[in-house]
Amino acid sequence: MSDKQKDTKVDELLPGDFIPAQELLEHEYDGIQEADNPLPKWWVQLFLICIVFAVVYTPLVHMFDLLPKSFLARDIAHAAMAADQREAELIASGAYDADPVAAGKKYYATFCVTCHGTYGEGGIGPNLTDQFWIHGPEETQIMGTIVNGVAAKGMPTWGPILGERKIKMITAYVMTLWNSNPPAAGKKAEGEAYDMAVIRAPKDAAPADSLATAADTTKKI
Ligand code: HEC
């Protein structure tokens, strides 16, 4: 081995340079050899920091649950109280009863948009503005779907979370969505097609000739 090779430092090497023989590990495959360089300092330090962090964090958080939670609990309690108070004020003001659809729209924006889209056009959940329904378009059917959810398909069970009052208002809003021509592209049809013009026709204003079909409003096309 020449002196020149010995003196060459690994970090001075350029691609294609000869790697000094003493830096190579013994094994060789198809003429390819592995250089025995130390790991970069920053890498080793980061690795050690991770180990120390894991040793402290795991028992603290996952085994003994020792992190202080008083602030979190207090903040959650405050937020819940504030929400209850706003709710009570709205109920007292009669706003909900005056306009259940508008109230339902607000709840929809809070609880449903993530999956059914801002305009009900669908996303993770089905499109609520078209004539296709998996669980039925009638008020009682929609309420049933919301109350019970469809756990296997990812629709949460809202009954225990929202309560009957809110779900009624949300249902009222969902029932206004059919044919609302959402500005966002709607999700493709899911479920079966229903004759929505009949189903959503104002019941007392239905023309005489549609009364026969109105009795069986879940009739499919
Ligand atoms: C985590 C996502 C998610 C959220 C949040 C969610 N849904 Fe759903 N929803 C779904 C999925 C998925 C389905 C389809 C269930 C199926 O395939 O049977 C569904 C189905 C429905 C249906 C039946 C549609 C049909 O075609 O019959 C209605 C109505 C509905 N959701 C209303 C709501 C309302 C109202 C809310 C808010 C309170 C809500 N959903 C919140 C995911 C969600």
Q: CA 135: distance to chain centroid? A: 22
Q: How confident is the model at residue 86 (pLDDT cuts 50, 70, 90)?
A: confident
Looking at the DSSP bridge assignments, the partners of residue 28 are 33
Nearest CA to ligand 1 atom 11: 125
Q: Tell me the C-alpha distance between 54 and 40, whole Å.
A: 21
Mutate to test the pocket of ligand 1, among 131, 155, 162, 194 (most ligand atoms within 8 A of CB): 155
Q: Does domain 88-214 have CATH number 1.10.760.10?
A: yes
Average pLDDT, the chain: 84
> Tokens representing 154?
């990812």
Give Cα separations from 112 to 105, 120, 122, 130, 161 (angstroms).
10, 9, 10, 17, 13
pLDDT digits (tens, 9 = 90+) for 68-85: 777 888 888 999 999 889
Contact between 181 and 166 (Cβ < 8 Å)? no
Contact between 25 and 34 (Cβ < 8 Å)? yes
> Tokens representing 164?
């009957």
Q: What is the mean pLDDT of residues 60-75?
A: 83
Quote the ligand 1 centre to 68 CA distance (angstroms). 37
pLDDT digits (tens, 9 = 90+) for 188-203: 999 999 999 999 988 7
Q: How confident is the model at residue 212 (pLDDT cuts 50, 70, 90)?
A: very low
Quote the ligand 1 centre to 155 CA distance (angstroms). 5
Looking at the DSSP bridge assignments, the partners of residue 194 are 220
> Tokens representing 204?
């007392």
Looking at the DSSP bridge assignments, the partners of residue 133 are 192
Domain boundaries, the chain: 88-214
Q: What is the mean pLDDT of residues 8-31?
A: 73
Ligand 1: residues within 6 Å at CB? 111-112, 114-116, 124-126, 128, 133-135, 142, 145-146, 150, 153-156, 158, 170, 174, 190-191
Q: What is the mean pLDDT of residues 157-172?
A: 93
User: Does the pLDDT of residue 24 top 60, yes or no?
Assistant: yes
